[in-house]
Amino acid sequence: MKRKSIPCLLLAAAVTVGTLTGCSANADSASTGASSTGASSAASSAATSDSAIQPCEVTFWHAMTGQQETTLTELTDQFNSENEYGITVTLVNQGSYDDLSTKLTANAAADTLPDLSQAYNSWLIPYLDKVVHLDDFVANDYDNYEDIMESYREETSQFGFINAMPFNKSTYVYFYNKTMFDELGLEAPQTWDDLLTIGKTFLEKKNMVSLGFDDMAGMLEATLRQNGCDYVSEEGALFDTDAGQQAIDFIMEMYNNGYARLVGEDGYFSGPFSNQLIPAYIGSSTGVSYITHDGWELGVAPLPGNTEKAANTAGTNIVMFSKDANQQKAAWEYLKFLTSTDATVKWAMDTGYLPVRTSAYESETYQNFMQSDATATASYAQADAFFSSPAFDGSYDIQNAVNSKLEELILNKADGATAMKELVDAVNGAL
Amino acid sequence: MKSRKPSSVAARIAQYAVLCLGAIFTLLPFLWMISSSLKTPAEIVKIPPVMVPAVAQWSNYATAWAAAPFGRYLINTVIVTILTTVGVLITSVLSAFAFSRLKFPGKDLVFSLFMATLMIPGEMLIITNFMTITKLKWIDTYQAMVVPWISNVFYIYLLTQFFLQVPDALYLAAKVDKCSDLKFMVRIMVPMNKSAITTIAILNIIGSWNSFLWPLLVTNSQEMRVLSTGLIRFQTEAGTSYELVMAASCILVMPIVLIFLFLRKYVLEGVAFNGVKG
């Protein structure tokens, strides 16, 4: 027995040593993190100094594929050949959003982040000290920042400084089968009551479930906001109010009456919607490329509201991590180019994402484009109602907790009061 | 004789029926992949599912092939797979031999330490390993994809158990004949455990061929990427183009199928050898 216990002890010791090494590695990255805070304050000096930019290479990590990547490459080639400073931007595809996020986390720890990367705000929280503050660049060297859509400006300054420039933005819209709606004499919904009427009509006349949501947590947040109620903050759930109760009652009514259903294994409603198995769903505007409508007409409408209008926005922004002043200035030139009216119009028309500037929406080219593109029109129609989910330590856990809790409540056909209590517990428990 | 024939025919029929059923179950995912790779996006999501596409969309293959430099990815995958497999076999055989035959101070302790590393989840080591690779300036190189994977404690453990089953008498007899340890290992241990070593090689080839996260983490340029990273080119935040994923998968599976057809004899031999020995 004694002989056996020695290896066991050593085994435990080995594990401890391993853990300690891990800890010291973290401490290491924390200290380099501190030094890069110095680099971000260097951003201000880089922005204000007038010295010309030296030729250099700027690396941009992204998660764009297919047509999106083609257009991004075209725009980047244009920038590389046209810029007067000899800046070369190198695009690096890093897989999906999840892969890109993992890769950024690893490189933040090793202090080898790229000059630029696509990122959601929620990813940045562990290494926010490595993000270059763009305030001085915007103040000294940017053409009409007020022209950027207000909700995007709010989103990219939620940490108290400008942490990114908006890039591939989308919004949730209401896709519907116009042929079926016409047949039943229905119009696209404007309000929650319309959704209930549509649900009732489809159930009675065609025995069909009439609505689905690709993103459950996003649905809850939008519905709360449509009733003038806040969702969550770092302190926990904010929706335990009368307005919140109304919103949750409405959601449970939709599901319990069979007016709405959960998504299947494929994770998106574009499949069943294309097959006319569901007459309408709410999902990302970029999902339109996955909808095939053979023999029926596709309709796209802004999200319905109740006391207010509210529409989720999705899609990433571009964050700068460069430490060197010259690199920062070069990267900024590229960001200026990508968010310019012409570039954002081209980007939006080719990819189905939305322009980031008001002047882009108002440009003749995009106005003409909207006349033939129902998704773009519907997205623009709700531009005043855009909101983005707040990102903070734990916001991702809340999203996961809410997604599974909502699913459970719907499967159990819970009543509104139970749903409220359990959702509040789920949110607060995730923090 | 005559009276027994009908029953043996019936037995034969039953045998083949079972085998056919098994074959269908095994082949179905494969056939489904091929059929899906020839569908239109509408047919992919069709409910009830379409078994055979109305018009075969051969263009899916061209589109999938053009989406990424798969030729280059293939070469990289082959290089990485061969190097890691050779590395794993060398380290596993050597250490399994040491743990099973040699006598040296602290043998049990070292073995326990090796075992201890099995209890650390791989995900925990990713960041630490990544930082090591970065400090060595190995990002975007083959060694970054190969070196961390050329030893595998589980395989060492597995092979040690196999080596322990070889009777001591053989070792001692070899010693009497003045056979060195290395010679004994190469001449006797390895051939006697051919099936176990083949199994390890196959497991490692599959693992290496399919590995995704680590190669993606340590490479940045298209020239260094591997096949698995090519498959995610058909996914976006709003959905996945399954027909293209399936077309690309068919292309990726081809080399493995060809290798099997050529080496079928050897692979089956390994399995048969195992059966006889068992």
Question: What range defines the domain where residue B124 resides?
Answer: 68-240
Phi, psi angle pair for A302, to nearest 5°: -65, 160
Per-residue pLDDT tens digits of chain A, which is 431 residues long: 334 444 344 334 433 333 333 333 333 333 333 333 444 444 444 665 567 899 999 999 999 988 899 999 999 999 999 999 999 999 999 988 989 999 999 999 999 999 999 999 999 999 999 999 999 999 999 999 999 999 999 999 999 999 999 999 999 999 999 999 999 999 999 999 999 999 999 999 999 999 999 999 999 999 999 999 999 999 999 999 999 999 999 999 999 999 999 998 778 999 889 989 999 999 999 989 889 888 999 999 999 999 999 999 999 999 999 999 999 999 999 999 999 999 999 999 999 999 999 999 999 999 999 999 999 999 999 999 999 998 999 998 999 999 999 999 999 999 999 999 999 999 999 98
Are B77 and B209 in contact by the 8 Å Cβ rule? The answer is yes
| Residue A373 within any structural domain of the chain | no
DSSP secondary structure code for residue A280 in this structure: E
Are B225 and B102 in contact by the 8 Å Cβ rule? The answer is no
**Number of domain units in chain A:** 2
Clarify whether residues A267 and A337 are in a common domain: no
Clarify whether residues A204 and A277 are in a common domain: yes
> How many CB atoms are located within 10 Å of the residue A193 CB?
12
Q: Which residue of B has its CA nearest to A103?
A: B217
| Residue A148 within any structural domain of the chain | yes
Clarify whether residues A396 and A308 are in a common domain: yes
**C-alpha dist (Å) from residue A337 to A86, A331, B119:** 14, 10, 50
Clarify whether residues B178 and B94 are in a common domain: yes
Clarify whether residues B223 and B88 are in a common domain: yes
> Using CB atoms and an 8 Å cut-off, which of residues 259-288 of chain A contact chain B?
266, 268, 270-272, 274-275, 277, 283-284, 286-287
Inter-chain CB proximity A109 and B234 less than 8 Å:
no
Are A383 and A149 in contact by the 8 Å Cβ rule? The answer is yes
Are A130 and A33 in contact by the 8 Å Cβ rule? The answer is yes
pLDDT at B21 (0 to 100): 94
Nearest by Cα to A199 from A259, A253, A273, A252: A259
pLDDT at B263 (0 to 100): 75
Clarify whether residues A399 and A297 are in a common domain: yes
Clarify whether residues B145 and B222 are in a common domain: yes
Inter-chain CB proximity B112 and A290 less than 8 Å:
no
Question: What range defines the domain where residue A329 resides?
Answer: 40-169+315-362
| Helices and strands, counts by H and E, chain B | 15, 2
Pick from B41, B217, B239: CB nearest A106: B217
A59 vs chain B: nearest CA distance in angstroms?
10
Pick from B41, B130, B216: CB nearest A94: B216
Clarify whether residues B49 and B72 are in a common domain: no
- The pLDDT tens digits of the residues spanning B41-99 come to 888 877 788 888 989 999 999 999 988 898 899 999 999 999 999 999 999 999 999 99
pLDDT at B198 (0 to 100): 87
B219 vs chain A: nearest CA distance in angstroms?
9
In one-letter notation, the amino acid at residue A98 is: D
CATH of the domain at A290: 3.40.190.10
pLDDT at A49 (0 to 100): 59
Nearest by Cα to A114 from A100, A126, A125: A100
A96 touches chain B (CB under 8 A): yes
Clarify whether residues A337 and A251 are in a common domain: no
Are B234 and B60 in contact by the 8 Å Cβ rule? The answer is no
For the record, the structure tokens of A194 come out as 């319309």
For the record, the structure tokens of A242 come out as 């009368």
**Number of domain units in chain B:** 2
Are A259 and A195 in contact by the 8 Å Cβ rule? The answer is yes
B187 vs chain A: nearest CA distance in angstroms?
33
**C-alpha dist (Å) from residue B20 to A225, B25, B26, B175:** 58, 9, 10, 52
Inter-chain CB proximity A66 and B233 less than 8 Å:
yes
Query: How many residues are given for chain B?
Result: 278
A218 vs chain B: nearest CA distance in angstroms?
14
Clarify whether residues A105 and A236 are in a common domain: no
Pick from A271, A274, A286: CB nearest B236: A286
In chain B, residues with a C-beta closer than 8 Å to the C-beta of A107 are 130, 134
Q: How far apart are CA A202 and CA B233, in angstroms?
A: 38
In terms of Cβ atoms closer than 10 Å to its own Cβ (0-12, 13-18, 19+), residue A316 is buried
DSSP secondary structure code for residue B188 in this structure: I
| Residue B270 within any structural domain of the chain | no
Residue appearing with tokens 């990002």: B139
Inter-chain CB proximity B45 and A275 less than 8 Å:
yes
Element (H, E) at B236: strand B235-236
Clarify whether residues A347 and A407 are in a common domain: no
Inter-chain CB proximity B237 and A110 less than 8 Å:
no
pLDDT at A46 (0 to 100): 63
Task: State which of A340-349, B33-42, B117-126, B240-249 shows the largest mean pLDDT.
Answer: A340-349
> How many CB atoms are located within 10 Å of the residue B197 CB?
22
In terms of Cβ atoms closer than 10 Å to its own Cβ (0-12, 13-18, 19+), residue A171 is buried
- Least confident span in A5-14, A342-351, B6-15, B233-242: A5-14
Q: Which residues in B10-56 belong to E strands, given as ranges?
A: none
Q: How far apart are CA A52 and CA A361, in angstroms?
A: 33
Inter-chain CB proximity B221 and A96 less than 8 Å:
no
Clarify whether residues B187 and B88 are in a common domain: yes
Clarify whether residues B54 and B72 are in a common domain: no
Q: Write the ipTM.
A: 0.80
pLDDT at A294 (0 to 100): 85
Clarify whether residues B151 and B50 are in a common domain: no
Clarify whether residues B16 and B140 are in a common domain: no
| Residue B160 within any structural domain of the chain | yes
B112 touches chain A (CB under 8 A): yes
Q: How far apart are CA A423 and CA A41, in angstroms?
A: 41
In chain A, residues with a C-beta closer than 8 Å to the C-beta of B128 are 21-22, 25
Residue appearing with tokens 């200035």: A329
| Residue B103 within any structural domain of the chain | yes
Angle (CA) B64 A269 A428, round 5°: 115
Looking at the predicted structure, is the pLDDT value of residue B188 above 80?
yes
- At residue B270 the predicted structure's pLDDT band, cuts being 50, 70 and 90, is low
B247 vs chain A: nearest CA distance in angstroms?
15
A295 touches chain B (CB under 8 A): no
Inter-chain CB proximity A8 and B112 less than 8 Å:
yes
Q: What is the DSSP string of A1-22?
A: -HHHHHHHHHHHHHHHHHHHHH
For the record, the structure tokens of A23 come out as 């800890």
